[in-house]
Each structure stands twice: as C-alpha cells, then as structure tokens.
Structure 1
Amino acid sequence: MWRSLRLLKLKALLTQVKYMIYGLVNADTLELQYIGQTIRPNIRRNAHLRKYPNLRMVVLERDPISNDKGERQWIKNAKTLGALLMNKTNGGNGSFGPMSDETKAKMSALLIGNKRNLNHTHSAEHKAKISAALMGNKNSLNYVPSPELRANRSAIMIGNTINVGRKRSKATRAKVSAALKGRVKSEETRAKLKATWTLSRKATHVKRITGNHYRRNASHGA
C-alpha cells in the first residue's frame, strides 16, 4: 500500500515538473556561488544540501525557452558582474563542483602545447560588442533581500559550523591578494559598505575590543 502511495506521489510530482534555472546562495554572505538547471528541484536541492550545507537554492528562471542556453547566459552575466561561481564550465551540461584529479589530468594532457589564448587580449571592437550585449540587463540590479528573508536565512544557518576553523592555503591567499591589489572602491561602494555596518555589528566590535583591553590590563596588573 505504502509503495503504491509513494509511486502515485512521485508520478504526480513528475507530471508537474518543468525546467528551472536555479542559483546556490551562501546563507551567511548572501553571495551567489553556483548556477545550475534541473527538472527535479527538491531532489537537486537536497543533494546540494548534503554536500554544501551552507548553500541555499533560489529560483532564477522558470521554464526557460532553452534551458542550456539560459543557464549559460545566467553564468555569463553573473561572472561579468563579478560573482565568484563554483561552476567549472560555462554551463549547459550539468557539471557541478570541483573537478576530480583524474579529470584535471585529462584536461591538462589535452591542453599541453595549446597556445591559442596565450597573452590574448580582446580587441576594442570585441569589448564594444560585449558591452552592447550586456547593456540594459537588469537581472538582480539593486535587488535587496527583504528583512523577513534575511531573518529566515539567519535562522536556518544558526549552529552551522561547516566553515569554522577552515583556513585557505598560502597559495590561495596569494592568488586572492594578487587579484584584489590595486582595486579602488568608489564612493558609492564605500557608502554602501558603511551602511551595512549595523548597530549589532558595532556592538560586537566594541565588546571584543573592550574585552581585549580589560584582559591586557588584568595581565599587566598581575
């Protein structure tokens, strides 16, 4: 009986399923970290949560005209806007997560001696075409999660310690440092960063500094 009910439930679910392009958002920073496609959102979401508990699924587009093309376009736009995605491909093939050492070795063997893009820079004409294609694209422009959504995400992540104690390697830190050197924040960006410095964060900061101050004084007094 239960088996029949499960089959009926699954059949009903599949008859309602349609393609969906989704994103995985970091529950702490609210940064978009992955873009994919699926016809079984619940199954895919649970699979992601088992591997990456800190990420939450959000719907980017339902029933795209072309799921592969749509996924590639979303990935392209996100990277253009500066998103640091975990996607290892340009989309359209369902690949997710880091490549295995075996896959890396195969790709390395195929690319050895390939100098097609070595020291390649886009021409002014090519840059103009890219700019024209992206102009007017307002996906996620000025999007700010509601206080209710932020509160829900915060409640979900309480007690999550997946990244506690995690440290980046020296090589990774060097790459990040090199990529960020020379960047100058605009006045608008500075204003936004200042606005996000909430009273609670200020209080936490002051409490930490005050605690360190008292500990130093206590140690000197001893």
Structure 2
Amino acid sequence: MSNTFSDNNQIEVVSSFSELINTPFQGTMNAVCWQRNLVGDFKEIISELQLEDNITEVSSEDLLALNLSEEGNIAREIILNDMQLLADHGASPSLNLLKCYERDEELGFISTDVYSYHVDRSPIGTDTFLCTYHGAASDIIANDQVEQKVLIPEIREQLKKLHNGPEKEFEDFLKEYFFDLHYQPKPNAEPFNLGVGHLWRIAVDHPEQKALPCVHRAPVENDDEYRLLLIC
C-alpha cells in the first residue's frame, strides 16, 4: 500500500480549493488532492452524533446542534466550510457517519459493492469529491494496475450464463447491472490510500471525460471505529 504522493503520476497535489476544482484531468492523471493537515477534534463530533443505521447522513443543522468543545468546534467549522465550498461549486455534498456499507455477496464470483474496486459513471460531466475526516480512508489504484472484471474469462463465462440471452444484448446487460464498472487488481498492484483530512477530486466516466476514470474502493472499516466521510 503506497502513501507517498511523490512519483505518483496518477495524482496531482494542490494547495487550495480553487486549484482542486480547476486542475484538468489528463492522461494517466485522474485524481487531484488538496493536501491538508487538519486540526480539531473530529472524533468528538462522531461521539456526539447518533448512528441511526449503518449509514447516517448528517446535515449542517445536525452539526450546528452539537454542543462541542473548542477543538470539536474547530473540526465542525472545517466540515461546514468544505460543504459550503462544494455547494457553491454546484455539487451536492453529503456528510455520512458510517459503520459499514452493504455487502454484495449474492453471486459469489463477482462483487459489485463499494468495497470492490470500481469507477463512477455519469451521463453528464461531473466529478466525485471525497474527504475522510475520521476512520479508515478509501484507496485508489492506477488504471494500468487493474483488469476489468467482465474481461476475466472465468467471470465472463459465469456472467454469460447469468445473462442467458442474445449475445448482442450481453454488453447492455453488463452495463445495466454495473458489472462493467468493477475491476480486479493485477498481481503486484500498489493501491494508494487517500488518507485522512485531504479533499480529493477524482475522475468519473462520462461522455466528455478526457482522462481514464479513477478506480477506487471503500476501505474495510477499523474495528469499533466509525468513519466520517464527505462525498459528492
């Protein structure tokens, strides 16, 4: 697992929100990182929030209602500011308190949950933004270090059996059920962990995209620790 930004041609590191949103993706570079060393007590915010399900969306009003220490208030202001910056940019940020995501183990031979390496797809031009304030952080991986799962012969054969329809409709079937969005790391692949506190913008598969979409996955959560994640 790699954690150094140097010599990683997949990532562009910037020092402001303006640079984060205005740096164009190109070639193999499909992830931009506003690198930050955040202060404040984000764990206190988690301890004051109520987890209603495995995933609870936290609104700005929920945050403002918390009675926090000075350090907790610093953390809250950082989150609120990030949410405002993204909203002003036209995004729809969602702050999630996470115990875990739902697992997809129904088929056995292929997984399509967020713990599987995947890309995001959109019919319109957009980007994915994410920041982990506390807990385990997501991974990304270079496109040349993965193989599309639907191209792996044994998986493709199983999917054809599952499809059980005309060959000309098979590719549409793969897209309809999102099988084509998922990837398998190659031997000796080196994922990159996004770390805590940095705000990331990663490339999405859409019609105007000039770069390859960024392959990423959610982390396996740490025992007895919730994640606090901003995503849009």
TM-score of the aligned structures, taking structure 1 as reference length: 0.22
Q: Which has the higher contact order (CA 8 A, sep 6+)?
A: 2
Q: Which has the higher strand share?
A: 2
Q: Which has the higher helix share?
A: 1
Greater gyration radius? 1
